[in-house]
Amino acid sequence: MLAVSGNQFTLNGQPFRILSGSMHYFRVLRACWRDRLEKMRLFGLNTVETYVAWNMHEPQPGEFHFEDGLDIVTFIETAAAVGLKVIVRPGPYICSEWDFGGLPYWLLKDPAMQVRCAYPPYLAAADRFFDALLPRLAPLMASRGGPIIAMQVENEYGSYGADKTYLQHLADGLRSHGVADFLFTSDGPRDAWLQSGTLPDVLKTVNFAFEAAEALDKLREYQPTGPLMVTEFWSGWFDHWGEPHHVSADGSASIERSVKTLDEILSCGASVNFYMFHGGTNFGFMNGANDEMGLYRADVTSYDYAAPLDEAGGFGPRFAAYRQVLGKYVDLPVLPPAPPPPSAAFGPVEITEAAGLFESLADLSRRHSSLTPLSMEMYDQDYGFLLYRTRVSGPRPQGIFQARQLHDRAQLFLDGQFHSVLERESGEEFATFDVPPQGVTLDLLVENMGRVNFGPALQDRKGILGGVTLADQFLFGWEVYPLPLSDLSRLKFTPVGAPRPHNNPTFYRGFFQVDHPVDTYLALPGWTKGVAWINGFNLGRYWARGPQQALYLPAPLLKQGLNELIIFELHGTESLKVDLRALPDLG
């Protein structure tokens, strides 16, 4: 078991420095787990750390999934098989640039919901999740001969709240399930955070990117004795849409600064976890977002994170630099010469079929009637899009139209014709138009761009939250079509010889042959914004604004033979072609 002896950790009675790397099983295809874990061991690490994504394991209340890519037990057993110990951070909140910080959407159906505190319905839901998860992990604890050496209580709680009753409830829950061999908290190195996010009988750790000495000195103020642990050494960073990718933006100077920080951490004898060692991908609609003082920014699909091991499992520019520092303090395994992960440019894929969104509503959705537009969660919808439709009488002179508290981005159509884009990010919730004598049918196609995963704006319901007004008059009487796009099998595609008119949301389909499946990247030059599926698997969002210009397509998603590609394009494309490339394009 992991224990504390003076200012160091011991494992089974022997001195043990935790050298760990973050890798999330839910961001990496199951078929790739072992490859990434073996590379982690060869890097010189002895431990892997993972969060647990509650929203994936309990997509609906009481409906639990621990199979296939959510088989956390097999992930942990695979880590043990390659020689790694395991740290589990079960939440229930995880942040992680993951939708809603890993909390399930259905919590937000309660209009009085308060998360991450001792609000009884939230505690009851979290307890039910722990009741399903923790008995699976208990046999894998180090005290029973397993690889799990430590568990985290919540996650950076001090940066959110100060409800010690809530924190203690979670710690007691871990203990009651037999998984509390060794508990810890992690917070940023600030007074308020370390005061509010910690418990007296639980080891305190800190998270940071730079200024190691100052951060560890602050930790010592609140924990005068015991081992020093950096639970998150931010070894890279994540990207928002419209920003430069952090590998190219950082450049070598930033890597040198990170290398210096890592050396500072190790030189003082501290344990460390690289966040991230391997980031993986926000497949589907799972990316999170940030909202800082009302400024909303959604994360991209790639979670490459400028990590030592890149999105496809290759050695990034930080791999050798960090490993060289590590080698000053521990004996490293021999790193065999290895070619980069195989990838292929399968070339252009012709798009041959199309199905318009508006013509396909009956195949994709069930209509709801609402007096006012309600949030996505109130229609029992988790992710994707919502179409709100109403009829406005005329004539009316030009007036200001407003989708109040729009979360997050909408396309406005009048009598089926595109009018304008409204969006939360820019604050442009407004449009102006007049209504002809015969009236007009108004459609708003709203995209959930990702729920906020950090900070006070965490309870981020999606859709239109504050009603719709025209000339300050509320519009009532709506048809609402939830569009989670979780099943596209009923779409009726027809041949298409040219791109459909711009701003006419359309599903496009093409097929391509693969003889030998290997990794590739789906590039969409000339396309604007949307979502892509390969053989029914949602690869995630694309957007011409970048920085990400190609979606990672791992080999296990490809079939030997014929493969199906579906693209939901919101605005328009210049050509009916996409390109499968051998290299990513992250801007």
Residues paired with residue 183 on neighbouring β-strands, in sequence order: 151
Which residue in 225, 162, 156 sits closest to 195, CA to CA? 162
Instruction: Tell me how far apart the alpha carbons of residues 255 and 276 are, in angstroms, rounded to a whole number.
Output: 14
Count of Cβ atoms closer than 10 Å to residue 163 Cβ: 16
> Torsion over CA of 228, 232, 234 and 237, rounded to 10 degrees?
-170
Q: What are the tokens at 223?
A: 């924990």
Catalytic residue among 156, 425, 429, 569: 156
Instruction: Tell me how far apart the alpha carbons of residues 419 and 293 are, in angstroms, rounded to a whole number.
Output: 29
Instruction: Tell me how far apart the alpha carbons of residues 416 and 418 are, in angstroms, rounded to a whole number.
Output: 7
CA atoms within 13 A on the CB side of 541: 26
Question: For 477-491, b where at least 16 C-beta lie within 10 A, e where not — what string?
Answer: ebbbbbbbbeebeeb
156: annotated active-site residue: yes
Instruction: Tell me how far apart the alpha carbons of residues 439 and 428 are, in angstroms, rounded to a whole number.
Output: 25
Instruction: Tell me how far apart the alpha carbons of residues 17 and 2 are, in angstroms, rounded to a whole number.
Output: 10
Catalytic residue among 232, 264, 311, 377: 232
Count of Cβ atoms closer than 10 Å to residue 494 Cβ: 11
Q: What is the CA radius of gyration of the chain?
A: 25
Q: What are the tokens at 411?
A: 């396309």
Strand intervals (E) in 448-505: 463-464, 468-470, 473-474, 478-483, 494-495
Count of Cβ atoms closer than 10 Å to residue 13 Cβ: 9
Residue 180 neighbours by CB under 8 Å, 6+ apart: 151, 171, 174
Instruction: Tell me how far apart the alpha carbons of residues 531 and 223 are, in angstroms, rounded to a whole number.
Output: 47
154: annotated active-site residue: no
Instruction: Tell me how far apart the alpha carbons of residues 353 and 32 are, in angstroms, rounded to a whole number.
Output: 32
- Helical axes 33-43 vs 72-81, angle rounded to 10°: 40
Catalytic amino acids?
Answer: 156, 232
